[in-house]
A and B are shown apart, each in its own frame.
Chain A
Amino acid sequence: MTHPNLELVPHEETEVTLVLPIEADWLALARTTGAAVAARADFTYDEIADLRLAIDELCLSLIERHATRGRIELTYTLNSDTLRVEACLTELPLDTPQLERAGQEFSQRILDALVDTHALREDAPAAWFTKRRTAH
């Protein structure tokens, strides 16, 4: 018999927060965490591949706009059949240079194609997207 305290009750909403240094090597962890959260909500293999790329592009579009140093805080929120990912930059130095990289022009096009809604926040160095999983 399972001890009552060990029974896991599914929540209406699940939130996972990850804080990383703004460094290229750490972005893979942002993708991997998003994939793990989506897998718990039965997103398909293809949807998870889309999410990994969307998370990467969300972070890149934010970093290149605001900062190349500091921290990036990612919040993954699962609500029923929708995953919302918000990325917010924190602890930004005053004199941080912008990120210059190849392929910047493709980020928005990729996000447009892979997620349902996405936007940059006006009031903070933050951006978010939502993606709904297919019914099955």
Chain B
Amino acid sequence: MDELLDISETSDNGVPVLALRGEIDLSSSPQLREALVRLQEEEPPVVVLDLSDVTFLDSTGLGILIGALKRRESAGGDLRLVITRPNLLKVFEITGLTTVFRLFPSRAEACT
């Protein structure tokens, strides 16, 4: 079966960015967890996760993001999420996670 999630690592304004495209669910979440762990091993002060092209995010994906946030915070770092799609923002709103994560409407704002 084709991969549902495409992950590319880049940087913007010196800030490491994971750009995701596709769907984050039970099937693709291990791929996301591995990418996040690998990136955080370098311990950058700020990591940006660009979810602009993510079309689906379920509770498993939320759990992976929470785990990444906890690891970042325990290392004194910052995890920022870029969310532009209303359906994705809605998932964070109904689960009460808009106040837990730092959400940004664009990559440029997240990387400044």
Contacts and interface: CB of A to CB of B under 8 A. Distances in A.
B56 A103 contact: no
Given A24-B25, A25-B1, A106 B87 contact: no
Contacts of B63: 101-104, 106
A61 to B, nearest CB: 9
Contacts of A109: 94-96
Nearest to A61: B59
B58 A56 contact: yes
Contacts of B94: 109-110, 113-114
Interface in A95-123: 101-107, 109-110, 113-114
A110 B57 CA distance: 11
B23 A101 contact: no
Interface string A14-54: 00000000001101100100000000000000100110110
B67 interface: yes
B39 interface: no
B84 interface: no
Given A25-B1, A52-B56, A53-B56, A106 B27 contact: no
B46 interface: no
B29 A102 contact: yes
A24 B27 contact: yes
Interface residues of A, number: 24
Interface string A79-102: 000000000000000000000011
Contacts of A52: 56
A86 to B, nearest CB: 19
B87 A60 contact: no
Contact of A28 (B4, B86, B95): B4
A87 to B, nearest CB: 14
A61 B86 CA distance: 24
Contact of A53 (B66, B86, B91, B96): B91
Interface of B: 1, 4, 23, 25-27, 29, 33, 56, 58-64, 66-67, 86-87, 91, 94-96
Interface of A: 24-25, 27-28, 31, 46, 49-50, 52-53, 56-57, 60, 101-107, 109-110, 113-114
A-B interface, 6 closest residue pairs, ranked by CB to CB distance from nearest: A102-B63, A103-B63, A113-B94, A106-B59, A103-B59, A24-B27
